[in-house]
Structure 1
Amino acid sequence: MDSVTDPVLQRQRILIQGIVQGVGFRPFIYGQALHYGLVGFVFNDSQGVTIEVEGSLLALASFQRALREELPPLARIDSIATESVQPCHETTFVIAHSQASNQRYALISPDTATCDDCLRELFDPADRRYGYPFINCTNCGPRFTIVQDVPYDRDKTTMRTFPMCPTCLVEYEDSLNRRFHAQPNACPLCGPQVSFYDGGTTISTTTTNDLIMRIVQQLAAGAILAIKGLGGYHLACDALNTEAVQQLRQRKHREAKPFALMVPDLNTARQLCVVSAAEATLLQSHRRPIVLLRQLPNCPVASGVSPAYNTLGIMLPYTPLHHLLLRAFTTALAPGSLAVLVMTSGNLSDEPIAYQDDDARTRLAPIVDGMLTSNRDIYMRCDDSVMHISAGNVQFLRRSRGYAPEPIPLSFDLPLPLLACGGHLKNTFCLGKGRRAFVSHHIGDLENLETLTSFKEGIKHFQNLFDIDPQAIVYDLHPEYLATKYALDSAIPQKIGIQHHHAHIASVLAEHGLQEPVIGVAADGTGYGTDGAVWGCEIMTANLLGFERLAYLTYIPLIGGEQAIRQPWRMAAAYLAHVYGSAFLEVAIPFTQQLDRAKWHILAQMMSSHLNSPPTSSLGRLFDAVAALLGLPQGLAQSNVLYEGQAAVELEMQATYATDAMQEETELYPFLMDRIEGQMTTVLNVAPLIRAIVNDIQQGRTVPKIAYRFHCTIAELLAQACHEIRKQTGLSSVALSGGVFQNRLLLEQLITRLEAFSFQVYTNRRVPPNDGGLSLGQLAIAAAQLRAI
């Protein structure tokens, strides 16, 4: 205990809000109080943590400093409110029982990877939890996926059905133990157990080790298994087994989209991929996302894991069960073989991840040869997060496990509680009150009843957890989005429609706390424009209150509407027809020579009569068109792409194959910037670019060369457009958002060009640039509009 010489006793009541429940915060407070000779109490309540401490002014100041500087690893303080109260002259400091209150401000920690202390116990034969797949403490383990209500106590989680044995209870009640009030605390005697479901029979052996060895032997022999994780089931197989990977693709109906992989350690990841220091840090963080890494030449992973990609999505084990599986799998393989498991979401394509045991048995039975399950229920499904390093910074592609439901702090007060419903693809919703925006875990594409049900369940759960009763609901302007229909059908009386691309830019503004107008570049595949067109390459001046569109890509017919998104060759033909007229059929390139003239004749009539051919300014569709001109995706010349964005992704992959010598060249394709007469608006005309690409194809230039040159040109086009808008407006800050900016090559090229023009560039860092970030932008715009009323 520090010596205290100040004889004047003072007492302080401290209310702390943030992630302070279930993360070892109260034991930390208890220890600090003892250290500084303070008396009083601490308890959890529905608002956060309440503390009363009594002692000398010097001791109280030291205690407050420790609150700011010495937090437990998973804790995060958002606010501290301190007031003086009358001393009570207690003789001890105690941890009191949790209390409920009418208003809730307590935050729930995301699910967190197994900590080093628990790992040491997991593999220590002398420890009573040796080999126990549910080992955890206040510094790690499940949180969000098992919580049913707040305050965060055991009886409000799915662990309530497992009464603690006397030994676990002693740990749980010991204020200085790292398992003090660790709500999932358990051991082999009193906690959850794993079992194996094999063709209608549930198998439980005498030891977990026997079960694990049985499973890894099946995996090593080529089996496909379902494995229950924190937020749902994974589908697993040996990633080096070509036949097993192909079988998984066929059974899951996932023809081409990459599978995620799990490896036992960083060393194994480095034998598959190039891993930078920043990527290594991200892989090993307690959040454990899937990280996209560049494959090494001659990477031994089966080609079917990530077809047409030069990257792999890698994650490290984040549950005790994963660690046990990967270590055992290593021993089951031939000496020298790498332990690499496919760990992809447990679902059929386009369905939400299976998380309830009975549902998983039904839905996954046609896919798997067996299921490794457990009797600890998952309350809220939650997919793995996906990230990469882009332009030197971390970028989300999917924000979910490990991050949700951690709120995003806002630089402004919300005028009333809000619900923003997000978009159609990669949906998230966002609930907000005060200065917090609770962006949901990844819901998925709202294209079927199952995903819509997951969306509704998630909203209800978040409303309950964070005590948010929305007084206004926010939605995208597209009338056919299921999220929009949900909003319009809602009983919430105040409804606010937000333009798609304004929401993208606003998501960047909200993240960075920007209030002043910026030049916003929103680039994606589809967004409903205010003129009824399909927007997708919009350069605007914008703040949270409004926007003005000052430049956009030339409108091209989206022939057949959604079909043109599924069949990129339609966009290629539309661009050629725009540039060459009907004579494009005589242009001597493989694309036109292989084009089905009968199909095109029908589409040309649709286009000329404006039948189901809305105009689009989408940059995503331009990427599709160029990909199709170059014969990408390979083998799908006049067929449907196998997943959203496939053509554009393959174009980016081809561009990255350009040699260093190619990349040093600065030659760009030509383009025009046409000012609309009598207006401040500029049309970005890429007709010269299309002509030049056709010429390059005729000259026999390689696909990587053309793809790389195209990326550089688009970066220059967007940068030049921003430069021209600065001349009009004087603005020197640029915000970039939209799914196209998941393209690392384009983003890095564009940021380089913008910075060369002395722009300050802002991008999404807390939410994805794709439609997974829309809900945050919608919330921020609605708040600004409501404040302005």
Structure 2
Amino acid sequence: MSVTRRAITVRGIVQGVGFRPHVARVAAATGVTGVVGNDDARVFIEAQGESGQLDEFTRRLVDEAPVLARIIDTTARQLTPVDGEAGFSIVASQTNPGGRSLIPPDVAVCRRCREEMDDPANRRFRYPFITCTDCGPRLSIITDLPYDRPRTTMRHFPMCRACRAEYTDPDNRRYHAQPVSCFDCGPTIWLEEFTSAKDQPDVDPFTAFLADQRQHPDDSNPDQAPAPVVRADRRLQCDGTIARAKQLLAAGNILAVKGIGGFHLLADAADDEAVARLRRRKNRPHKPLAVMVADLAQAETLVELGEQEKTLLTDPAHPIVIAPAAPGAPLSGLVNPGIDEIGVVIAYSPLHRLLVDRPVVATSGNAPGQPLVTGNRQAAAVFDGLADGVVYHDRPIEVPVEDSVFRKTLPIRRSRGFAPVPLALPVAPDSTPPTVLACGGELKNTVTLTDGDMAFISCHIGDMGSLAAQQAHQRAIDTLTAARRRHPDLIVCDMHPDYATTRAAERLADHTGVRLVKIQHHYAHAMSLAAEHGITSGPLVVLAADGTGYGTDGTVWGGEILTLGGSGDNGLAHWERSWHLPVFPLAGGDTAIRHPWRLAAGIAHRWDIDNGQVLDHLTAIDDAAQQLPVVRASLADPARSVDTSSLGRVIDAACALTAAALIAAGGAAATGRIIPGGIHQSFDAQAAMEYEQLAARAAAPTAQAADDCSVQQVFQALVDEVGLVARAVDPVQAAAVAARNFHHRISRVLARELLAAARRAGAPGNRQVPVGFTGGCAHNEILVADLEEHLHQLRPGTRLLTHTVVPAGDGGLSLGQAWAGMCGAADA
């Protein structure tokens, strides 16, 4: 048979995942000759053999691709055969000025590396940085593309002879594994203990943050280990550090530990005093803390896991998975106060595996309100006061990467292991869409850059309330644009005039001359859902519900039904507000968000609820009893408060009413264990989270929701039910039933209005218009389940579109902004 030669290109995440070695192995197995290499955009292959051999070679390239590879497409064309060619080789990387490769995410240590680090006969026994082509750091260490060791922070660690032999052996799984190292040539760890404990750091975190952003023109390692550590026997040094760190954790100390993408703060999760001290130092009195465990078996002693959750926990991404707490879980009650769920993560880096043999709290290593700490100098300044010691290593972190978080299988935070894997956009193959930079929102921030038919969403950045966070936001933009070698044709941001992200977008637009579009917050949420589901045209009807979003009318939105593409051309750039919750005043503005009883007072005042009955309930809260006269006076003057239509705030108000009833029934101590967020919120969505948990204690709703009930009637029914809590035999269970009934009734109203908007959008022609649910309230499992139940009752066969890829909350906002920009959205 005749010999042919093909040029094959493979596009996708094919760098840093062992794809070139994979190609070489498949070529050897199929008897194909040629070469494989990569440039900034792709893997390129020239393969020669008989036609059947090349077909088999191409099939196995895709079917047997490495675990971490993500192939978008392959193309092939015929070439002239090369006479006398023998063998198959990997050639040096090339630079393609117009090319843009995909950066792989950081992933957990793989099974074979775990086995090696547990084998006393292996030269990497207990090595904290073991890695291969199937695991380890990628995004966090890449400084430039294409992905080769000189373009990573591993350039500071020249390979020893043994590692280089593995690196150059096509039959070795470390063949061209860029982070490969060992005790003789790689990074090392060391421990520094603080001599005295303080409750707060005495350094300005922003100054410390900037200290780690300085350039190093001599390409020196900014996180270089102290000289005594470098001279010491590496294996003994590592073993001694691990042993002492575990001893400190067992004694109730708090340790900062440098991981793959940043630092964690660790504490014994069974030690009440250690967890209380960590909460005090981080100023985090109530927000649940994640727990790191050694393995799946240990996780199952803490939480109840279904097969999907087990699969997700052990996925190469190793995210935090929030699941129901197991009965008798051996943890301090301070880990998840008032919450019947626990977020668990299996130790994912080799260093974590060595440190963690018991459940430990593992929370982001940062000062209160500041971004993740990544550099050693910054850590030394910030953690003196937050931690009792720091475990350092000297491999620099180029890109900060927070842990990903899922609630069961619903994404809450998309970061490590998932970012920056692109989301495919439904773009026509022959179109030339604009490159859009979307700056995200003010909370749970991410940024998104589009490039052709792909959307690249950054790792989680966080809340934009500090200068350091705003600096991190700019760095995330720089990372995305540099990786894609693209400058935006359009910048999109939220329309809120006071968001830090809005100001950043304005500065960037002024500096570059790029057009800036400001769009409404809930429209961006709806477009995020549309992008995730590949929707390009309307009509589409979406319930967008959360706590806060700046409305086009100057009020605070948050309980909106929007119709997208309802106009004549059905384009998603056109939308309208089809329905919203009745408005009510935020008595005291942001103060009302922190003290939800003020929301209940505002609702009673505006919605014509039994005001005397509500105020009587609220006086059980000490703060409310003292300030109600002032609040009532402000409510009498509309100019002294801002109106809102927020579903999230209605739920907060319901939580406050129920908390007041429980105080009246059983004292403040009982309420402190159940729904403290109803009295005072110390973190975002605390009241809503705790109220959902309370509702879950009731097996099912005990009241039916009338088809024609209004939102006001739903709230009045709650007022009536919580009035009976104090006289109930079991006040907590009575409160749980009231909370469950509230969820059931309010979701009935939402389902009815959602379908009414869909009917209007579908006429004439009686089309079945798709409906969806997005925004922070879509993280509420009871609300989603009840909404789906009511939709099926009212319109059998209705499918509710929800999120499974990006968060429903503000973590997915930048994707919606980007898709809105690509669809031609104009300023709100």
Give TM-score, length-normalised by structure 1: 0.92
Residue 59 of structure 1 corresponds to: 53
Residue 653 of structure 1 corresponds to: 693
Residue 332 of structure 1 corresponds to: none
Deviation string 1:477-534 (CA, Å, 9 cap, x unpaired) is 1111111111112124211111111111111111111123221110101111111111
CA distance in 1, matches of 2:677, 2:342: 25
Displacement of 1:593 in angstroms is 5.1
SS at match of 1:212: helix
- Report whether the alignment pairs 1:470 with 2:488: yes
Residue 325 of structure 2 corresponds to: 295
Residue 427 of structure 2 corresponds to: 412
Q: 1:177 aligns with which of 172, 180, 188?
A: 172
Question: What is the identity, as a one-letter code, of the residue corresponding to 2:96?
Answer: S
Residue 577 of structure 1 corresponds to: 605
Identify the range of structure 1 (592-601 vs 473-482) with the bigger mean alpha-carbon deviation. 592-601
Displacement of 1:291 in angstroms is 0.3
Residue 16 of structure 1 corresponds to: 10
Alignment of 1:729-748 (within 5 A): 729-730=761-762, 731-748=768-785
CA distance in 1, matches of 2:320, 2:333: 19
8 A contact 2:655–2:678 mirrored in 1: no
Question: What is the identity, as a one-letter code, of the residue corresponding to 1:433?
Answer: D
8 A contact 1:668–1:710 mirrored in 2: no
Displacement of 1:360 in angstroms is 0.8
Question: What is the identity, as a one-letter code, of the residue corresponding to 1:11?
Answer: R
Q: 1:86 aligns with which of 80, 97, 110?
A: 80
Q: 2:246 aligns with which of 189, 198, 216?
A: 216
- Report whether the alignment pairs 1:643 with 2:683: yes
Residue 457 of structure 1 corresponds to: 475
Alignment of 1:540-619 (within 5 A): 540-543=562-565, 544-580=572-608, 584-585=611-612, 589-592=616-619, 594=621, 596=624, 599-619=627-647
Residue 821 of structure 2 corresponds to: 782
Residue 134 of structure 1 corresponds to: 129
SS at match of 2:334: helix
CA distance in 1, matches of 2:759, 2:471: 49
CA distance in 2, matches of 1:612, 1:481: 22
Deviation string 1:248-304 (CA, Å, 9 cap, x unpaired) is 111111111111101111111111111111111111111000000101223220011
- Report whether the alignment pairs 1:105 with 2:100: yes
Structure 1 unaligned spans of 5+: 1-6, 330-338, 674-684
Deviation string 1:552-592 (CA, Å, 9 cap, x unpaired) is 100111222222212211101111112447x7245574314
Residue 309 of structure 1 corresponds to: 339
Displacement of 1:211 in angstroms is 1.9
Residue 689 of structure 1 corresponds to: 714
Residue 217 of structure 2 corresponds to: none
**Residues 384, 695 of structure 1: alpha-carbon distance in 2 compared, 3 angstrom cutoff:** same
Q: 1:755 aligns with which of 792, 804, 809?
A: 792
Residue 560 of structure 2 corresponds to: 538
Q: 1:196 aligns with which of 187, 191, 194?
A: 191
Question: What is the identity, as a one-letter code, of the residue corresponding to 1:468?
Answer: R
Deviation string 1:577-628 (CA, Å, 9 cap, x unpaired) is 12447x7245574314546466333333333333342211100000010000
Residue 274 of structure 2 corresponds to: 244
CA RMSD of aligned residues (A): 2.0
SS at match of 1:535: strand
- Report whether the alignment pairs 1:35 with 2:60: no
CA distance in 2, matches of 1:724, 1:787: 27
8 A contact 1:46–1:150 mirrored in 2: yes
**Residues 52, 554 of structure 1: alpha-carbon distance in 2 compared, 3 angstrom cutoff:** same
Question: What is the identity, as a one-letter code, of the residue corresponding to 1:625?
Answer: A
Residue 676 of structure 1 corresponds to: none
Q: 1:668 aligns with which of 694, 700, 704?
A: 704
SS at match of 1:11: strand
User: How much identity, in percent, do the aligned residues show?
Assistant: 39
8 A contact 1:427–1:444 mirrored in 2: yes
Displacement of 1:546 in angstroms is 2.1
Question: What is the identity, as a one-letter code, of the residue corresponding to 2:281?
Answer: R
8 A contact 1:40–1:53 mirrored in 2: yes
Question: What is the identity, as a one-letter code, of the residue corresponding to 1:494?
Answer: R
CA distance in 2, matches of 1:592, 1:580: 19
8 A contact 1:623–1:648 mirrored in 2: yes
SS at match of 2:145: coil
**Residues 783, 484 of structure 1: alpha-carbon distance in 2 compared, 3 angstrom cutoff:** same
CA distance in 1, matches of 2:719, 2:179: 62
Residue 755 of structure 2 corresponds to: 723
SS at match of 1:624: helix
Deviation string 1:39-96 (CA, Å, 9 cap, x unpaired) is 2211110012111112221111111211221111111111212222222232222100
Displacement of 1:184 in angstroms is 0.5
- Report whether the alignment pairs 1:707 with 2:707: no
Deviation string 1:666-705 (CA, Å, 9 cap, x unpaired) is 52356857xxxxxxxxxxx422122211111222361101
Deviation string 1:412-440 (CA, Å, 9 cap, x unpaired) is 15612110001111000001111110001
**Residues 596, 135 of structure 1: alpha-carbon distance in 2 compared, 3 angstrom cutoff:** closer
Residue 507 of structure 1 corresponds to: 528
SS at match of 1:235: strand
Residue 622 of structure 1 corresponds to: 650
Residue 333 of structure 1 corresponds to: none
Residue 462 of structure 2 corresponds to: 444
Identify the range of structure 1 (714-723 vs 519-528) with the bigger mean alpha-carbon deviation. 714-723
8 A contact 1:290–1:314 mirrored in 2: yes
**Residues 67, 536 of structure 1: alpha-carbon distance in 2 compared, 3 angstrom cutoff:** same
Identify the range of structure 1 (607-616 vs 737-746) with the bigger mean alpha-carbon deviation. 607-616
CA distance in 2, matches of 1:57, 1:508: 45
CA distance in 1, matches of 2:490, 2:677: 46
- Report whether the alignment pairs 1:340 with 2:377: no
CA distance in 2, matches of 1:588, 1:373: 54
Question: What is the identity, as a one-letter code, of the residue corresponding to 1:500?
Answer: H
Residue 424 of structure 1 corresponds to: 442
CA distance in 1, matches of 2:148, 2:745: 56
CA distance in 2, matches of 1:510, 1:639: 38
Question: What is the identity, as a one-letter code, of the residue corresponding to 1:149?
Answer: D
Residue 4 of structure 1 corresponds to: none
SS at match of 1:305: coil
Give TM-score, length-normalised by structure 2: 0.88
Alignment of 1:119-158 (within 5 A): 119-158=114-153
Identify the range of structure 1 (163-172 vs 558-567) with the bigger mean alpha-carbon deviation. 558-567
CA distance in 2, matches of 1:558, 1:85: 70
Residue 68 of structure 1 corresponds to: 62
Displacement of 1:647 in angstroms is 0.8
Question: What is the identity, as a one-letter code, of the residue corresponding to 2:45?
Answer: I
CA distance in 1, matches of 2:615, 2:596: 19
CA distance in 2, matches of 1:35, 1:631: 68
